[in-house]
Amino acid sequence: MSAAKICVVGSINADLTVNVDRHPTPGETLLGSGGGITAGGKGANQACAAARLGAPVALVGAVGTDSNAIPATALLREAGVDLTHVEEVTEVTGLAVITVAANGENTVQVVPGANALVDADFVSRHAEPVEAAEVVLLQGEIPADGFARAVELAKGRVVINLAPVVDVPREALLAADPLMANEHEAGLILDQLGYDSTGTPEDLARRLKDAGFASVVLTLGAAGALVVEGDALTHIPSPQVEAVDTVGAGDSFAGAFCARIIEGDTLVEASTYACRVGAFSVTRPGAQPSYPTAADTLPGA
């Protein structure tokens, strides 16, 4: 059986990053800089974030035979992520084209590539690490039936960060404990479930809990996070830092959160730590390259 306490079932991408002074308007061409390929994909990012903090992590996913597969997995290997269950397939490696403005805000366009093959049959072939994990972490960048099959196989805690928000089976989504989402994603998930998606972040977090989730973690960027468990809503502040690049910050939060959950932290404790990791990540460029190791000093108390 796998020794990994966390199993991430998700996407692996090569990130093509372009830096601009500001985001272009429709039809506008701007000159930028960068153009290098780095490791990305929400599944890979979250696996890397947890592993760099010392958590034992296995990743279930797919890459292509193209040259982008090498940089897409380099930092995962360096972090010690178990890649035994990452298949090499004939599709191209997933590609994310990221535009980062001078103020740190980013836009991302994703070509799924090999990630589109991580369906129910694929996940079933790699059931062992999913069944063995204490925490199974999922996102929205693989097919819905692959997502649902991972939930079905999981014997441990299921943490779902449905980003991007895609249609997945309702019963699989409601297995999340917690559901993790940012404010925008929370509204889309409420729409998907047939609930009112307006109101304050606190309204959205409580409404998600009322929709049937065991617990909810709502991330608020520089404003921190909200945790709803039982009848309690707790606001977690984030350390204030000067943001350089917000790409992958939410993924660093998710990975760090799971790294602390397997150590026995409460949702509030894990979210507090994850806010500090997320704040660290935005002070450096890129997604996986910006994530701290266990030896790094995090901002905040």
Residue set of the binding site for ATP: 182, 219-224, 250-251
Question: Which candidate in 119, 191, 196, 251 is catalytic?
Answer: 251
196 counts as catalytic: no
Known binding residues: 13-15, 41-45, 141, 182, 219-224, 245, 247, 250-251, 281, 284, 286, 290
Known binding residues for K(+): 245, 247, 281, 284, 286, 290
Known binding residues for substrate: 13-15, 41-45, 141, 251
Q: What is the 3-state secondary structure (H, E, C) of the chain?
A: CCCCCEEEECCCEEEEEEECCCCCCCCCCCCCEEEEEEEECHHHHHHHHHHHCCCCEEEEEEECCCCCHHHHHHHHHHHCCECCCEEECCCCCEEEEEEECCCCCEEEEEECHHHHHCCHHHHHHCHHHHHHCCEEEECCCCCHHHHHHHHHHCCCEEEECCCCCCCCCHHHHCCCCCEEEEHHHHHHHHHHHCCCCCCCHHHHHHHHHHCCCCEEEEECHHHCEEEEECCEEEEECCCCCCCCCCCCHHHHHHHHHHHHHCCCCCHHHHHHHHHHHHHHHCCCCCCHHHCCCCCCCCCCC
Catalytic residues, by residue number, are: 251
